[in-house]
Amino acid sequence: MKFSLLALGSSEVLTIVNCMLLLFGGVAAFIIGMNMMGNNLENAAGKSMRRLMTKATKNRFLGVGTGAAVTAIVTSSSATTVMIVGFVNVGIMTLTQAASVIMGANIGTTVTAFISAISTTGAEFEVTALFAFVAFVGVLMSMLCKKDKIKRIGAILQGLGLIFIGMNVMSSSMSGLMAEYVIDGEVAVQNPIAQAVKDMFTAIGYGKDILTWEIIVLFLLGAALTGLVQSSAAITAIAISLASSGLISLPMAMFIILGTNVGTCVTALFSSLGASVNAKRTAIVHLLFNVIGSIIFIIPLAFTSGYIANFLNSAIPSISWQIAIFHMVFNLLTTAILLPFIKYLVKLACFLVPEKKSKEAAEEHGVLDKRLLKTPAIAVGQVRKELTHMGELAFKNYKLALDMLLNGDLSRVVEFASTEKNINDYNSFISSFLVKLSLQDLAENDEKKVSSFYHVASDVERIGDYAENIVEYATQMVEGEARFSDAAKAEILEMDGHITELYKCATKVFGELDASYIPAVEREEAATDDCCKQMQEAHLKRATENSCNPEAAAVYLQLAINMERIADHMHNVANSTKSYHPYN
């Protein structure tokens, strides 16, 4: 018997519309909950995640474990993979190291399937009610507590509660939508929507052996929906909700799950656009892993899905748990099979994404990857690394400028100008990145770091400017054929020795957050002040005795002031850490 939507009464239509709206609302709550919990866990554990990622470089098994752990924390394999693409792009990870972490991410994402299974199994009301209360507690913590750490914990609890609430809403809406009867006034009539949808899924394969074309339809459906929503966890949750309502069978859910594994690669592929060659290869490795894994299993499953379903039905009563377990076992087996072939996956990715010509490679290189903005705590650490490198360039130029001045050799002016341009580019790019980073959801201590980094970038850039002044003095000396006396050179080199030691200690304090070097920083900075005074006094004495060249004397006095100011800026860089890493 066929049913028409036109035959429905107003109350029936309203019931169906309400169910559809609740379904979409449930999906939204589920995704918002995952993002809220994942983002806040990610920010709270930023340093720990960075250390985990560093340890992951030791061997492939640690990489798999790290990928699984991080994904379980952020509840999204897409987020982890995007993070890894960013790491490869900025050089934190190699392509081979990233491949094992990606495999682990696919295992970690199965956690969300188990969360979905819990919320749709057994004492559903009690579980959802418990986590709804957890969300309420989280709201109170965020509203009433002023401490950043407590607020973050509150946001994590809110996200966890929303995941369960979203699943409950999805499950309830599907049950309402697929009810056999709907109420029209005081009369119960058969639900035509439920019958039509059931007929559609029956045509695809419910209640009979699934054919090849039906397998492909289910697989593509899972991949397309995941690519559209950019969340395999959300589509898996919907599949579990559909299965719990009796709308799809376990074998049908299996092929949808295989599709979600391929669809989740879309996010990583998008994130690699405009990135380095190795970052693109990382996204390709992710795609290859999931496509090859799906191909390996889709053919055997076509013949054995019914037997597997019968076995799971006899061992586990809940279809929600059956799907979650299948999802986990599939990813574990895929990882076990492909882990020994990581090098070949990497080689295939390198073949598919060949090296660019040196000019193209130089054009695409960026100091900081904007993808890191999705992981603010790690982005803050990367900015520190880049500022440290910027400081190395500035110090290198200072030493080069002083060498040209003392030796009267201007042959390396072009090299100096190139480095100075790099310093200015670094300053512009880092400053722009810090503006974007400051708009992210940062922990209180990270906010202090970002604020101090603006000043550090300015201090380092000023060191480069003073080095530029020294080159101008060198040019004046060469053009005027002037020379420093041996005594003047000895005084300049003495001050240079203190600046060099100050730079080393300041780098330890800022780059490694080693506060034990702060006393040395203070000592060397005070020594440069003393040297500047001594140089000024020596200059006056030689001027009184008419024992120095007027051209050299003028440069000498300006040089002393510039060197002392360079030391001041190095001192500022070291002391900037006190705002967020106090020295006791």
357 within domain boundaries: no
387 and 321: one domain? no
User: Which letter does DSSP use for residue 577 in this model?
Assistant: G
The torsion angles phi and psi of 188, rounded to 5 degrees, stand at -90, 120
pLDDT value at 210 more than 80: no
Q: Rg of the chain over CA atoms, in angstroms? A: 32
* Cβ contacts of 424 within 8 Å, gap of 6 or more: 461, 464
* CA atoms of 439 and 159, how far apart (whole Å): 21
457 strand-pairing partners:
none
Host domain of residue 501: 370-579
Among 317, 352, 387, which residue terminates a domain?
352
Among 289, 324, 352, which residue terminates a domain?
352
pLDDT for the residue numbered 254: 87
340 within domain boundaries: yes
Average pLDDT, the chain: 78
188 strand-pairing partners:
183
466 and 525: one domain? yes
347 and 404: one domain? no
Decide if 397 contacts 416 (C-beta within 8 A).
yes
DSSP H helical ranges for 124-147: 124-144
3 within domain boundaries: no
181 strand-pairing partners:
190
313 and 425: one domain? no
Lowest mean pLDDT among 34-38, 100-104, 249-253, 518-522: 34-38
pLDDT for the residue numbered 465: 92
Amino acid letter at 241?
S
364 within domain boundaries: no
Torsion (CA) 298, 302, 306, 308 in degrees, nearest 10: -30
Among 352, 380, 401, which residue terminates a domain?
352
pLDDT value at 563 more than 90: yes
* CA atoms of 446 and 575, how far apart (whole Å): 16
15 and 49: one domain? yes
The pLDDT of 517-543, averaged and rounded, is 88
pLDDT for the residue numbered 364: 42
C-alpha distances out from residue 461 to 3, 175, 345, 405, Å: 74, 64, 43, 21
431 and 505: one domain? yes
User: Which letter does DSSP use for residue 211 in this model?
Assistant: P
pTM of the entire structure? 0.54
The pLDDT of 533-537, averaged and rounded, is 88
CATH of the domain at 565: 1.20.58.220
The pLDDT of 312-321, averaged and rounded, is 82
pLDDT for the residue numbered 456: 92
* CA atoms of 515 and 580, how far apart (whole Å): 12
pLDDT value at 425 more than 80: yes
pLDDT value at 120 more than 80: no
User: Which letter does DSSP use for residue 371 in this model?
Assistant: G
pLDDT value at 149 more than 80: no
Decide if 46 contacts 377 (C-beta within 8 A).
yes
198 within domain boundaries: yes
What would the pLDDT profile of 339-369 be if each residue is shown by its tens digit?
A: 888 888 888 988 888 865 444 433 444 456 6
The DSSP-derived string for 262-280 is HHTHHHHHHHTTTS-HHHH
Reference 478, options 559, 407, 417; nearest CA is: 407
64 and 114: one domain? yes
What would the pLDDT profile of 431-463 be if each residue is shown by its tens digit?
A: 888 888 887 877 778 888 988 998 899 999 999
The pLDDT of 69-92, averaged and rounded, is 69
173 and 108: one domain? yes
C-alpha distances out from residue 229 to 42, 143, 223, 235, Å: 21, 31, 10, 8
Q: What percent of the chain has pLDDT above 70?
A: 74
pLDDT value at 185 more than 90: no
The pLDDT of 171-200, averaged and rounded, is 56
Residue showing tokens 């599939």: 330
pLDDT for the residue numbered 12: 59
Half-sphere exposure of 154 (CA within 13 A, CB side): 16
pLDDT for the residue numbered 363: 40
Work out how many domains the chain is built from and give that number.
2
pLDDT value at 584 more than 50: no
pLDDT value at 133 more than 80: yes
307 and 379: one domain? no
584 within domain boundaries: no
411 and 502: one domain? yes
pLDDT for the residue numbered 4: 46
Q: What percent of the chain has pLDDT above 90?
A: 17
pLDDT value at 581 more than 60: yes
What would the pLDDT profile of 256-296 be if each residue is shown by its tens digit?
A: 888 888 887 876 776 666 666 777 888 888 889 888 988 88
307 within domain boundaries: yes
Q: Which residue has the higher pLDDT, 576 or 484?
A: 576
341 within domain boundaries: yes
What would the pLDDT profile of 234-259 be if each residue is shown by its tens digit?
A: 777 778 877 777 777 888 888 888 88
Q: Which residue has the higher pLDDT, 416 or 368?
A: 416
Tokens of 445: 């201590």
The torsion angles phi and psi of 191, rounded to 5 degrees, stand at -80, 110
The pLDDT of 188-200, averaged and rounded, is 55
The torsion angles phi and psi of 207, rounded to 5 degrees, stand at 80, 10
Q: Which residue has the higher pLDDT, 191 or 261?
A: 261
pLDDT value at 548 more than 80: no
User: Which letter does DSSP use for residue 355 in this model?
Assistant: P
* CA atoms of 322 and 248, how far apart (whole Å): 13
Decide if 23 contacts 162 (C-beta within 8 A).
no
pLDDT for the residue numbered 365: 42
303 and 422: one domain? no
pLDDT for the residue numbered 485: 82
pLDDT for the residue numbered 108: 84
Residue showing tokens 């005081």: 186
The DSSP-derived string for 41-80 is HHHHTHHHHHHHHHHTTS-HHHHHHHHHHHHHHHT-HHHH
- 3-state secondary structure string, 274-322? CCCHHHHHHHHHHHHHHHHHHHHHHHHHHHHHHHHHHHHHHHCCCHHHH
User: Which letter does DSSP use for residue 247 in this model?
Assistant: S
96 and 241: one domain? yes
Reference 243, options 206, 209, 210; nearest CA is: 206
What would the pLDDT profile of 381-415 be if each residue is shown by its tens digit?
A: 888 988 999 999 999 999 999 999 988 888 899 99
The DSSP-derived string for 491-551 is HHHHHHHHHHHHHHHHHHHHHH--GGGHHHHHHHHHHHHHHHHHHHHHHHHHHHTT-S-HH
Torsion (CA) 530, 536, 542, 546 in degrees, nearest 10: 180
* CA atoms of 233 and 252, how far apart (whole Å): 17
User: Which letter does DSSP use for residue 373 in this model?
Assistant: G
Per-residue pLDDT band at 504 (split at 50, 70, 90): very high
